[in-house]
Amino acid sequence: MADIHLKNTIDKACFVTLGPRPMNRNRVSEPTRPSIRRSASLGLAGLLALSACGDSADPETGATDGEASGETDAETNGARQVSYYEHVRPLLSEHCVSCHSDGSIAPFRLDTYQEVAALGPAIAAVIEARTMPPFGVRADGSCRDWADPRWLGDDDIATIAQWVEEGTMEGDPTIEAPLVPQLPTLEGDGIERVALPNYTPHASPEAGFELDDYQCFLVEFDGDEDRYLTGFDVEAGNDKLVHHVLGFRVDPAFLGNGETLEKLDALEAGPGWDCYGAAGEGVLPQGVPVTWAPGQGAVHYPDGVGVRFSPGDVMVVQMHYNLLDSQGMDQTSINLQWADEVEREGFQILWDPFLFSSIGGGGGETLEAGAASVQYAWNASFESMLSLDGLAFDSIDILGLIPHMHSRGRSMDINIDRGDTMACAADVDRYDYNWQRTYFYEDPITVGMGDRLDVVCDFDTTGIDAPVAAGFGTQDEMCLVGIFFAPSE
């Protein structure tokens, strides 16, 4: 049953944009992976191929991900005794304390010996699994190099594991406290501070939100000239509440967006409207130039690149509030850095054939209910994706990606399909809806219009009785990739 459904979903998905695909692909010099062919036989075999792919060998040690390289590291560390003040505190200060300190978003502090020692095994576990610090794409060099990856090195992971194993020794408290690194800030001219309305987030148990609130606010701009966004920062009003901030660029003239925004705004008495999937039910954004989560600091787009806002374009800001630790009012501000001109215009395309299937009436596609692993796959040429926005270039440089699913999304496997080769573009093997962001490449990926983006989303629908639809709502799912690019020079 599961396989049949999977096959149907995938065949349909691929049918949307898929041409004939060559069977044999060669490896190319960019980081590659075996091609995963989706065909009638993608059932168990396909799943096995996928999990094999996730377990790729560490290029340096040859060890697979499953077996931590801790063994060898533990040997080198074995001679010394690991203590909190000497070895552990500097690592946590660098990688954890920006969020895990008093008044910040994380639910507990990691800057005192007592707290850290009490949580030792949990800390070792999340560090080992590399789910903390949150950075959802695999950053061990097996699939691209990322700007500012947050992953701890294997040696540091081994140090913390050893400290916990040896009984969390305190060590010498007179050792000077390490500095917590400063987050990047915006510098230079053209910074505009946009204050969002005062808002008191509240739970909506009837909508399934016991501890979270997602609220969208409309930001309009003056001026009658094009201008370009080159970077941004967020000043959370209440650090304990603000879990993420997304700023969508919306052209009100695009497919009824203007009317949809008016309707949404009229639905609620106070400022803004409820939203979850993107900018609100039915709004079709032109990109997400702002993606921010705590502990991130300012983002500068790659040198010379800016995203154009034309007169009339608005920004819909989605605030995600988490009420686990705190309640109360918030007023967050967003700092936007503008330039009148840029060397290269940056563009964003949000693509999701699964979501598209649900738009415009008629039943959309669905995911099978009650399965620990349900996949949705799509494959689309850059030519077709760009043409929806009326864009065409000889080639483009992909600067970064935004992987986006909802709460049932587990992983996303994103590849560049160059016809005869498949190259890894992002291995999102620890997806967490709570951490929405743009992952920027260290070196952009150049693609031609005939190249394709190949995406496999994996969902866990355990505990759900009815097929899961695509859509913007909390119970719906998406298999969306935001592509941030600039035309090649």
425 closest CA partner among 407, 452, 450, 391 = 452
328 closest CA partner among 207, 237, 244, 243 = 237
**Scanning residues 336 to 375, which ones bind ligand HEC (CB under 6 A)?**
none
Least distance CB 294 / ligand HEC (angstroms): 5
Tokens of 126: 């999340």
Q: Which is nearer to ligand HEC, 127 or 380 (CB)?
A: 127
What are the two backbone dihedrals, phi and then psi, of residue 304, each rounded to the nearest 5 degrees? Answer: 80, -5
Q: Which is nearer to ligand HEC, 47 or 180 (CB)?
A: 180
Least distance CB 296 / ligand HEC (angstroms): 7
Q: Which is nearer to ligand HEC, 50 or 99 (CB)?
A: 99
C-alpha span between 315 and 285 (Å, rounded): 9
Residues composing the chain: 489
Residue 277-306 contact track with ligand HEC, rule CB under 6 A, x = bound: -----------------xx-----------
Q: Which residues contact 314 (CB under 8 A, 6 or more apart)?
A: 218, 219, 220, 221, 249, 250, 252, 261
* Interface segment toward ligand HEC; rule CB under 6 A; list 37-45, 124-132, 212-220, 245-253: 124-132
Work out which of 123, 279, 350, 486 binds ligand HEC, going by CB under 6 A. Answer: 123
Q: Which is nearer to ligand HEC, 141 or 297 (CB)?
A: 297
* Interface segment toward ligand HEC; rule CB under 6 A; list 125-133, 194-202, 303-311, 327-335: 125-133
Contact between 287 and 250 (Cβ < 8 Å): no
Encode 476-487: b = buried (16+ Cβ within 10 Å), e = exposed.
Answer: bbbbbbbbbbbe
Q: Is 127 in the site for ligand HEC (CB under 6 A)?
A: yes
Half-sphere exposure of 486 (CA within 13 A, CB side): 21
Q: Which is nearer to ligand HEC, 110 or 455 (CB)?
A: 110
Least distance CB 153 / ligand HEC (angstroms): 12
Work out which of 131, 384, 395, 488 binds ligand HEC, going by CB under 6 A. Answer: 131
Pairing of β 439-448 and β 242-250: unpaired
Long-range contacts of 308-312 (CB under 8 A, 24+ apart): 308/226, 308/227, 308/228, 308/345, 309/221, 309/226, 309/227, 309/228, 309/229, 309/249, 310/226, 310/251, 311/223, 311/224, 311/225, 311/226, 312/251, 312/252, 312/253
Q: Which is nearer to ligand HEC, 295 or 403 (CB)?
A: 295
Q: Is 126 in the site for ligand HEC (CB under 6 A)?
A: yes
Q: Is 120 in the site for ligand HEC (CB under 6 A)?
A: no
Q: Which is nearer to ligand HEC, 188 or 208 (CB)?
A: 208
**Scanning residues 389 to 448, which ones bind ligand HEC (CB under 6 A)?**
434
9 closest CA partner among 472, 318, 457, 417 = 457
Work out which of 132, 158, 371, 449 binds ligand HEC, going by CB under 6 A. Answer: 132
Least distance CB 92 / ligand HEC (angstroms): 6
- Say how many Å lie between the first and final Cα of the chain, rounded: 49
Q: Is 390 helix (H, G, I), strand (E, B) or coil?
A: coil
Q: Which is nearer to ligand HEC, 239 or 313 (CB)?
A: 239
Pairing of β 422-428 and β 468-469: unpaired
Q: Which is nearer to ligand HEC, 180 or 339 (CB)?
A: 180
Q: Is 241 in the site for ligand HEC (CB under 6 A)?
A: no
Least distance CB 107 / ligand HEC (angstroms): 5
Contact between 280 and 300 (Cβ < 8 Å): no
Look at phi and psi of residue 90 and say left if phi exceeds 0, alpha if psi is from -120 to 50, else beta. Answer: alpha
Number of residues binding to ligand HEC, judged by CB under 6 A = 21
Residue 80-119 contact track with ligand HEC, rule CB under 6 A, x = bound: ------------x--xx-xxx----xxx--x---------
Least distance CB 314 / ligand HEC (angstroms): 28
What are the residues binding ligand HEC (CB under 6 A)?
92, 95-96, 98-100, 105-107, 110, 122-123, 126-127, 131-134, 294-295, 434
